[in-house]
Amino acid sequence: MASLTLKNIPEDLHEALKAEAAAHGRSLTKEAFHCLRIALNRTGPDGSEVEAKARQVRKLFRSDLAPADLDRWKRQGRP
């Protein structure tokens, strides 16, 4: 297994990592591994999955407003 040494870690970052490790019942090293795994996990939602969700949201906000009505309402109260 490879090894990594981190130097000059800011005190606030070190304390935050220690606190997280204690909160999760992990050693400092295991907490650092956990944080690295999360940070490097680049798997995200599939593009088609995002598109399907966007279509669902758009359906919630669809209306039968005519462009002329929208234009008239935008201009109301303006000189």
Give me the chain's average pLDDT, please. 86
Give domain status of residue 38, yes or no. Answer: yes
Give domain status of residue 1, yes or no. Answer: no
Give domain status of residue 6, yes or no. Answer: no
* Dist CA 25 CA 34 (whole Å): 12
* Dist CA 27 CA 17 (whole Å): 10
Report the greatest alpha carbon distance in the chain: 72
pLDDT above 90 (res 23): yes
The fraction of the chain above a pLDDT of 90, given in percent, is: 34
- Domains in the chain: how many in total? 1
Q: For residue 70, what are the domain limits?
A: 11-75
Give domain status of residue 2, yes or no. Answer: no
Residue bearing the bigger pLDDT, 20 or 40: 20
Give domain status of residue 22, yes or no. Answer: yes
| pLDDT, position 48 | 80
Label residues 31-46 b or e (16+ Cβ within 10 Å = b): bbeeeeeeeeeeeeee
Band of residue 79 on the pLDDT scale cut at 50, 70, 90: low
Give domain status of residue 5, yes or no. Answer: no
Q: What SS3 class is residue 73? A: helix
| pLDDT, position 31 | 92
In what helix (H) or strand (E) does residue 25 lie, and over which residues does it extend? Answer: none
